[in-house]
Amino acid sequence: MRKIFVLAFLLLGFITAFAQQSGQVEMADTMRSSGKIYVVIAVIAIVFVGLAIYLFSIDRRLKKIEKEK
């Protein structure tokens, strides 16, 4: 069973090596040249900040409930 797991892991690692491109990514160059990449980065940053604020607020509420008990 362990041999099958190791073989599958090695094959997956081998497949991902072929998935990498040797040249530049055309979509990224296009978005960078038109300035749209900054919009994408801003949206991702806003989503992460929103998630962080949400998680911290949940944590604060949980601590408050734990102190009451």
Q: Please tell me the pTM assigned to this model.
A: 0.54
Cβ pair 31, 37 in contact under 8 A:
yes
Identify the DSSP state of 35. Answer: T
Cβ pair 31, 40 in contact under 8 A:
yes
Q: Residue ranges per domain, the chain?
A: 22-69
Give the ranges where 1-69 is alpha helix by DSSP (H).
2-19, 26-34, 36-68
Q: Is 14 left (phi over 0), alpha (psi -120 to 50) or beta?
A: alpha
Q: pLDDT by residue (tens digit) across 33-66?
A: 888 888 889 999 999 999 999 999 999 999 999 9
Cβ pair 58, 67 in contact under 8 A:
no
